[in-house]
Structure 1
């Protein structure tokens, strides 16, 4: 049943911001971030935006607990000891994803900064004489409000522009299981040519409904804690039991470990990487504990099958391009679905590699958890300790998925 309806004109998106003369040259994230930056409230003040000011004024004012803030601080040469320690304590796969997020941020900043001189009398006031780092940190605030709060909204554009900031809706907390509501677009009978299809948004209760005084929650997506932490700055509070039982969809990226494994001497390693890249199987190698039994992703199995299709990998003999091409033909049969596996020997080698990967995951996760506990033991700052507990959950997920995988090997 409907809970509330948000009029299309109340959303902040490429349609409601189309008055910007260069709105078509910026992505939705860049355009909305620019608008928030120009109307960022001064300390203890409200936003001066005539249309969206009341909403902008109640957006979070501080993202000190978000990992993007820590890594941007590091890039700018500022930041606290605690922030630098937190970056050092992150699992490698989480830090890798965070670096990719930072690249997106700087790309958007470079696109937006070009237009700031067009608004000499707008917020951020006197930006020409402000320190560049201060202006960048204001943009961190704007960009994170967009990245953490926008909802997918089909405006009939490409996927990167189908987003909107939706007042009221975006204040719903995330629930990884049994959310109480979901947003739906209200159909429009007429769509103006060349215009975004900006429609009202209605919030409806989920199948189980919502009772009086119950919190209304959304599901941000079926993401592992790694993604939730990097993109939104929080994790689901889970236990090893929920991971082992398959109740929680635990996932670990093993890109760094597998990349090291595939880095064979001579031409073999280059051939493996080139072939995987050409066929679309380079990277995004993961292990999962749900659905049961725990399992490696098809992408990971595919990469290992190719690697172990060359007998010379173990013997150290350098193969010719013709030999490697011939050896990879059976591998392609598994990609196309003509064969379930290459050979018993190949499958056995893949399982052995997965076992070694899991052992490395477990070993480094145990070290990571020990480092977290030592940091907590020496710190009395409560906010810092809470973030450390969040990072510990990231290591717990990596540890438990590795252990679950070993149980089935």
Structure 2
């Protein structure tokens, strides 16, 4: 048993967790020898819906368990910001363990390096490939994630400057955390990515949809993702009783529909996500060959291509944009592959229908009358436009697909793309859908 795992179990035991052989039925093991990539493995054969472990609520790292430490002064921070701030303050020094008196043994088990994650490529020098070789939809999704990170960094930095007393217990000297420097950004990137890639939903607020209903959970976060293998599940919420669901211990059950052999790896399922989301949010992709065809869920966002079509329309394209914005159909235009078939999203069909109605150039005086059939479809008064317009938008869709295929095919033969398997997978998925 390695030292960090042993210390973690001892700490959990202090919190009241039963870590005996009969209650803790999993252990962390190296998935790939010689790396820091761990997985959760069954210590013995398990029947379906077996309780694998139960983490006491006091050992969960969330807004609730940190509130007694930071008090009311941290009310201005979101749960994401508060948890990442705590990790920032107590990041272990290289080769050491975290000195945090609250969660030190747990923090010591967290990954120490996120250079593989694309957000690190936007923040650190000489890390990762040029972002120019990413598919456009992955590039913009990464920019959105970077904006969230930067906004949280600003909020946390401002909080630290306003409340310097919280630095007294930090692992690093206060001067290192008070100054806006590269080291601070990198340390906060480590903290933020640990939360973003490892937090799970756990209700601690009255509203089930409150964004602060997140937590870091010891042991659970060693589990790897699989999109198609049987996944571990938490127990179902308690009969709709809010008091039973709030701030409870966290248990995890073995897959509900299958037994587990001893020494088998146990997985989590993040849901049916495309590679773009897995890449941007978690830093990995799934090879299509690793997923049965009837379980593949692929997606390509074509916002840039459709926006270019509107720009080509000139003045009327500007007007069509305003129509789409007003009716909440602006952007998020996607094409999908699932259950063995490819199809455009309804948002994309709606935008292409609008484009098919109007010729390029100036806005005609009869624009409102011309728009009425489209409005009727949007409002549900009829299912489709006239046959000629339905054929027109489908032809536009074919051109969109051609554009996706051509740019993906060009990227896939570029040497700078071919050396990065994750980026090859992104381009391959786009071409596959189109």
Same fold (TM over 0.5): yes
Q: Which residue of 1 aligns with 2:7?
A: none
Q: Which residue of 2 aligns with 1:406?
A: none
Q: Relative to structure 2, which stretch is displaced further, 298-307 or 323-332?
A: 323-332
Q: Which residue of 2 aligns with 1:399?
A: 431
Q: Which residue of 2 aligns with 1:29?
A: 80
Match of 1:367 among 410, 414, 432: 410
Please give the alpha-carbon distance, in whole angstroms, between the structure 2 residues aligned to 1:120 and 1:294.
53
SS at match of 1:114: helix
Does structure 1 residue 237 correspond to structure 2 residue 284? Answer: no
Q: Provide TM-score, normalisation by structure 2.
A: 0.81
Q: Which residue of 2 aligns with 1:88?
A: 132
Distance 1:18 1:286, change over 3 A: same
SS at match of 1:289: strand
Please give the alpha-carbon distance, in whole angstroms, between the structure 1 residues aligned to 2:242 and 2:323.
48
Match of 1:8 among 57, 67, 84: 57
Distance 1:292 1:335, change over 3 A: farther
Distance 1:190 1:356, change over 3 A: closer
Contact 1:180/1:209 (CA < 8 Å) preserved in 2?
no
- Give the 5 Å matches for 1:85-234: 85-116=129-160, 117-123=164-170, 125-129=172-176, 132-155=181-204, 156-157=206-207, 158-184=209-235, 187=238, 191=243, 197-206=246-255, 207-234=257-284
Over the residues paired in the alignment, what is the CA RMSD in angstroms? 2.2
Please give the alpha-carbon distance, in whole angstroms, between the structure 2 residues aligned to 1:376 and 1:400.
17
Please give the alpha-carbon distance, in whole angstroms, between the structure 2 residues aligned to 1:376 and 1:147.
26
Structure 1: which 5+ residue stretches go unaligned? 74-78, 378-384, 403-409
Distance 1:237 1:190, change over 3 A: closer
Q: Which residue of 2 aligns with 1:382?
A: none
Query: How far 1:339 sits from its partner (Å)?
Result: 1.4
Query: How far 1:41 sits from its partner (Å)?
Result: 0.6
Structure 2: which 5+ residue stretches go unaligned? 1-48
SS at match of 1:46: coil
Count of equivalent residues? 374
Match of 2:422 among 375, 378, 390: 390
SS at match of 2:211: helix
Q: Which residue of 2 aligns with 1:259?
A: 307
Query: How far 1:187 sits from its partner (Å)?
Result: 4.2
Query: How far 1:324 sits from its partner (Å)?
Result: 2.1
Contact 1:186/1:201 (CA < 8 Å) preserved in 2?
no
Please give the alpha-carbon distance, in whole angstroms, between the structure 2 residues aligned to 1:277 and 1:100.
19
SS at match of 1:203: strand
Q: Which residue of 1 aligns with 2:107?
A: 56
SS at match of 1:40: coil
| Structure 1 residues 274-322: Cα deviation after superposition (integer angstroms, max 9, x where no partner) | 1111111111111111134310000000011111122x23xx3x124x5
Q: Provide TM-score, normalisation by structure 1.
A: 0.86
